Amino acid sequence: MDSKFNFVSTSSATDTAEQPTTPVSIGFWQSAGHKFSHDRLSMTCATILIILVLVAIFGPMLSPLNPNQLHVNQQNLAPSQTYWFGTDHLGRDLFTRVCLGVRISLIVALVATLLSMVFGTIYGMLMSYFGGWVDSCLMRLIEIFNSLPSLLVTMIIMTVLGNGIGTMLFALAITSWAGAARQARGLVLQLRDTDYVTAAIMLNTPLWKIMLRHFVPNMMSILILDIGQSIPANIFAEASLSFLGLGIQAPNTSLGILISEGQNQMLQHASQLYIPILVLVVIVLAFNIVGDGLRDALDPKFKA
């Protein structure tokens, strides 16, 4: 008995079958950016910071009023279309002064943080690179700075050297570099014995090239975290010194000066005190939340 067999080709079934996909590898910074962009709270605070920076830069341009011009007949006015935040006890536009105060406070905090991070990082890399008695002596200096109250030391420096933006930058930087130095020291101790650093030393590579090519790129994530934590601390320190009369002086303004001036009007015109306080709280809180978001994003073990 003849039987007929029909052969069915399996090529179509094979073609339609799902092919195994190879996993796509992404870099460290791409992974950190992905995790940070999916953190809604951190992204919201980062957006608030960007808006505050833009207002601090372009806010005085939006208002035609002079922040230092006195108007005797327009003292302690409530917020209106002309004066968005009202006026102070001398008739000056409070909105323009708040914008200038935020600008100066941010500039002081950013420059002081940059100075302390650069000096502390170089200090920590040098002490850990040479090691031995150099590391021991320089470590004792860090311990001395860490044992002193930073606000008290800053006040003493401001009292001895005088008030001003330059003196404040020096005082804030010299009291906050020890933390960056300690972080840099610990990281360089781990990187010093790696193969590529040993090879660079054997090739007589200059020390500054080893720092820039091998040490700093591997410390970048930790440095970013330190910057995110140092900026709000310096903003608060600047506001505290200006509030106590040891920081920026008139005719310049800052958030600390605005809070100090608003304190005298808090019973009759509370908005003059609450507005700069609210701005200061928002800036410091936003920086802290963004710093926490960066810490989680730069942590390889953290899963969003």
The tens digit of pLDDT for each residue in 249-278 reads 777 788 888 888 888 777 777 888 888 889
Q: How far apart are CA 270 and CA 87, in angstroms?
A: 12
As a residue count, the chain comes to 304
The predicted structure's pLDDT at residue 7: 52
The predicted structure's pLDDT at residue 202: 85
Neighbours of 191 (CB within 10 A): 17
Neighbours of 92 (CB within 10 A): 21
The tens digit of pLDDT for each residue in 23-57 reads 555 666 777 777 878 888 889 988 999 998 888 88
Residue 4 clears pLDDT 60, i.e. is over it: no
Model-level pTM?
0.77
Which residues sit opposite 93 in a β-bridge?
87
| Mean pLDDT, residues 55-74 taken together | 77
Question: Please, which pLDDT band fits residue 185 given cuts at 50, 70 and 90?
Answer: confident
Domains of the chain with bracketed CATH:
29-61+81-297 (1.10.3720.10)
Cα 24–27–30 angle (5° rounding)?
Answer: 100
| Mean pLDDT, residues 145-167 taken together | 82
